[in-house]
Amino acid sequence: MKSDQFPFNLPSPLEKLHLQGRDLWIKRDDLIHPIVSGNKWRKLQGFFKILAPGEPITTFGGAFSNHLPAAAFAAKHFGHPITGVVRGEELNASSNDLLKYCQAQGMALEFVPRSAFRSLRESGWTGYEGRVLPEGGAGLHAMEGCGAIWKELAHEPDHLVLASGTGTTVSGILAAMPPYCKTKVHVVSAVKGAHKERAAVQQQALAKHITLHWEDETHFGVLGKWSPSL
């Protein structure tokens, strides 16, 4: 992998706002790359480094997952064939613009029933050839990549607010934080029923004596939904 040819904007900028007498800093990971933005390249970078040249990839996601287009773009850029297993057998490659983009990048799309997708998740994504990239890019390499977010901060904030899907970003940041760190971590869950992820993250924070609050009433039933108050 020749990552030096990839147009990254790392470390991502810290944007300062002043609201109601307090300083608010926003980590602009959305500016890392036009496609592989947010936490996506942080999750994918370590995975792509361990691949053999041309090694095939199988990954997983929902029809509106921003992981799938990011993985499709990176796989094409680094010369890896990739299959995306998509939740929902009623869908096809023309169902939305994200799936159209994935196919245009060379990703082979496989649509499976939601019950089968749940079984794949529970089994640890087994049964597929090539290198498996779990849903959302989750994994040890992803955690290590997300830990860089903490290391890029200029100082330890009083509060750190994070959105969470698979819990990988939160877990990676907690791993990078020192024990007994005074920063209070606030996690806003973007998915419904993330009980397993919540328990794992809370246990990790407890082991390092870090204060963590998990907000799980903000998913609105479906990933990506929001309200004006939020």
Residue 216: per-residue pLDDT:
81
Q: Are 63 and 138 in contact (CB under 8 A)?
A: no
Helix (H) or strand (E) holding 212: strand 212-215
Helix (H) or strand (E) holding 24: strand 22-27
Q: Are residues 90 and 156 in the same domain?
A: no
> How many C-beta neighbours within 10 Å does residue 57 have?
23
In a domain, 58, yes or no: yes
In percent, the amount of the chain with pLDDT more than 90 equals 73
Number of domains in the chain: 2
Domain stop point among 113, 136, 159: 136
Q: Are residues 118 and 53 in the same domain?
A: yes
Per DSSP, 96 falls in state S
Q: Are residues 142 and 125 in the same domain?
A: no
Domain stop point among 94, 109, 136: 136
In a domain, 19, yes or no: no
Q: What is the CATH number of the domain that holds 89?
A: 3.40.50.1100
What mean pLDDT is predicted for residues 65-85?
96
Domain stop point among 136, 159, 182: 136
Q: Are residues 45 and 132 in the same domain?
A: yes
For the stretch 32-38, contacts whose Cβ atoms lie closer than 8 Å and that sit 24 or more positions apart, written own/partner, are 32/8, 33/6, 33/7, 33/8, 33/9, 35/69, 35/70, 35/73, 36/70, 36/73, 36/74, 37/70, 38/66
In a domain, 59, yes or no: yes
In a domain, 18, yes or no: no
Q: Mean pLDDT score of the chain, rounded to an integer?
A: 91
